[in-house]
A and B are shown apart, each in its own frame.
Chain A
């Protein structure tokens, strides 16, 4: 079920009313309703894959209980590995099997020893990377004794399958989300209104910014041979806003919907395109994934505590794995490697934590220096997005080759003025709201008529400029 679909606009009020009017007095019933609704939400796409989530939930729940009963280091480690193997096994099979087989066949063909292994027709279960990492975080935290394993299977099932963030995150830590299922939720007007507001902004990002940019990004990327360097650069620009609008829009809707049910999810985006360097960008982009890798991979590997070679190795590992997490394609690996290359100089010169607060925190506009830093960072991410969007590494290099030639200074062959105005409006609102958790978080400082007027303006823009409905990009991850 897509958040921007009629089905969801029917589904959400039904669940909301049942939740607050029928099950509000009983914690178990609230959790059961969330679990059942989440299974309906996911099963709407393909009910067969519900068994995967159910199996993952049973395995991790059981392992959690077994871990709590065992003090033997060996046994605990074994249990942890069982959980890792089961979860990553599913992920590996559904997401990476064909990639590895194809890479193996290609490598042997290159060596003159062709192999005859055929790939399989595998459907990638929506959101598998997200819920796999979420359940893994539970087992690892229980193993590390940071979390007491739950004995409430319904709460655990609801935690794993929580529908607002099931298919595209934010990837919640068990330490943050699971305890919220232990206490009865009471309706909180301010939280619900804030949630509605965030849903509205998320929908705007998705249906106006992302879906409209998608149209032009697709045209330009699919026909890159026909366009000048300037137009190709514009294509990359559209993709940058498509992926930001799409993914952060989804996160906003997920967080907003969770608030309607009395839950607080972690922030996933913090205005990444206002970053002044790549390190800051990665602290602001897909925060739940970056921190997951930091806590469960980078730090266990030794983090930045070792010598220079260890720092370089760990940085590359984390960025490559992060790239690979996004998809079974060399383009994502190159995208990760490129970001590692961007990041390394900052880390090696200890400049990776100089921009920790929001840009122009105490002024209306950025300084010339900040503006140029933001422009350079945005340009670097733009180049990296080309690899993320391209069908193959060759496609990406040809696209970049198309950008960097004399035609870069020619007129745009495509220039949708309305979309550009919408992007400008979007950037303006994001800039004004950058001190909040999301762009229109602080709008309640305005009086009611102005506030409502703004909401209605957003709604009017949404209905006037709705792009062709596209699936959320991150569903495929």
Chain B
């Protein structure tokens, strides 16, 4: 019996080592950059990291400022691009990033991306504030409905996301969620592979409920119209909005866009409805290279329609 267990354990350990090598060599999981919280309370990446995306199709890089993508050659005529995972865009090669695509379309300007998955509307303004030292001529903030809701602590407190406490009228900075577990998972590639491939259902012992067709998810964005209005007022009072342009995701709620316009925000609303080809991946809601190109075309037009001429 002891021999049996000894061999089982030994085999298990050898399998773990071989599995780790296989996962690393084949890039069976994407490399994930390590994050930190800087002195201003902003979650960003450790500078100068590089890694492979799934199956090694392309690499990503974190620049010396701690943001994904390449830095512009010059900060003259700078336009910053701030957003969440759509702008972070690890799933596409560098030539499909908004900064590169917009530079191709508006050569007189330089573009700098500052993005991280999970960035809320308020955090985007916080990031923008930290980039003011670079004296950008414009700041593009890519947003969607959830970014507004997630910004408001009064609706739903989220520890890992930077939010505004509207009652206290103050920004509450997000904390890193399970940093130890994340560090372990991102470095132990085999474990991360299993975590992604075979998600554990912690309710497996509960009887399965019969499948029912879920009713169409309610668009809760406008349900919180008053809170969103208060959020916009807070931003209006505490941040400069004249140099900001909100770039709304195609599926954004029109009521929110109207509220933003009423508060004096400049807005570009992306539209993919006339496009026969999908902007997104089949297996993921993020934009493909094609989607990014179309978005860049519309943003360029939007910028030209504003005072960026």
Contact = CB atoms under 8 A, between A and B. Distances in A.
Interface in A137-181: none
A192 B204 contact: no
A187 B193 CA distance: 35
A7 B200 CA distance: 11
Contacts of B8: 196
B15 A187 contact: no
B19 A460 contact: yes
Contacts of B7: 193
Interface in A437-477: 452, 455-456, 459-460, 463-464, 466
A416 B3 CA distance: 43
Nearest to A186: B1
Given A187-B4, A452-B11, A455-B11, A460 B22 contact: yes
Interface string B28-57: 100000000000000000000000000000
B14 interface: yes
B65 interface: no
A456 B190 CA distance: 14
A456 B3 contact: no
Contacts of A108: none
Interface string B1-31: 1011001100100110011001000001000
A334 B28 CA distance: 46
A404 interface: no
Contacts of B197: 463, 466
Contact of B204 (A7, A452, A459, A460): A7
B4 A456 contact: no
B4 A6 contact: no
B15 A6 contact: no
Given A6-B204, A20-B1, A193-B4, A452 B14 contact: yes
A466 B197 CA distance: 10
Interface in B190-215: 193-194, 197-198, 200-201, 204-205
A192 B11 contact: no
Contacts of B200: 6
Interface residues of B, number: 20
A6 B14 CA distance: 22
Nearest to B198: A6
B3 A189 contact: yes
A456 B1 contact: no
Contacts of B201: 6
A192 B7 CA distance: 12
B28 A456 contact: no
B18 A456 contact: yes
Contacts of A20: 1
B11 A187 contact: no
The prevalent SS among residues of A at the interface is: helix
A452 B18 CA distance: 11
A250 to B, nearest CB: 20
Contacts of A464: 28
Contacts of B28: 464
Contacts of B204: 6-7
Nearest to A7: B204
A460 B11 contact: no
A459 B4 contact: no
Nearest to A455: B11
Contacts of A187: 1, 4
Interface string A297-332: 000000000000000000000000000000000000
A452 B11 CA distance: 8
Contacts of B11: 452, 455
Interface in A216-263: none
Contacts of A193: 4, 7
A455 B12 CA distance: 11
A187 B1 CA distance: 7
A192 B4 contact: yes
Contacts of B198: 6
A177 B265 CA distance: 79
B207 to A, nearest CB: 9
Interface in A179-212: 187, 189, 192-193, 196
Interface string B103-144: 000000000000000000000000000000000000000000
A188 to B, nearest CB: 10
Nearest to B200: A6
Nearest to A24: B1
Contacts of A466: 197
A462 to B, nearest CB: 11
26 contacts: A6-B198, A6-B200, A6-B201, A7-B204, A7-B205, A20-B1, A187-B4, A189-B1, A189-B4, A192-B4, A193-B7, A196-B8, A452-B11, A455-B11, A456-B15, A456-B18, A456-B19, A459-B15, A460-B18, A460-B19, A460-B22, A463-B19, A463-B193, A463-B194, A463-B197, A466-B197
Interface of A: 6-7, 20, 187, 189, 192-193, 196, 452, 455-456, 459-460, 463-464, 466
Given A6-B198, A187-B1, 18 more contacts: A6-B201, A7-B204, A20-B1, A189-B1, A192-B4, A193-B4, A455-B11, A456-B14, A456-B15, A456-B18, A456-B19, A459-B15, A459-B19, A460-B19, A460-B22, A463-B19, A463-B197, A464-B28
User: Which 6 A-B residue pairs are closest in the complex by CB-CB distance?
Assistant: A456-B18, A187-B1, A189-B4, A456-B15, A192-B4, A460-B22
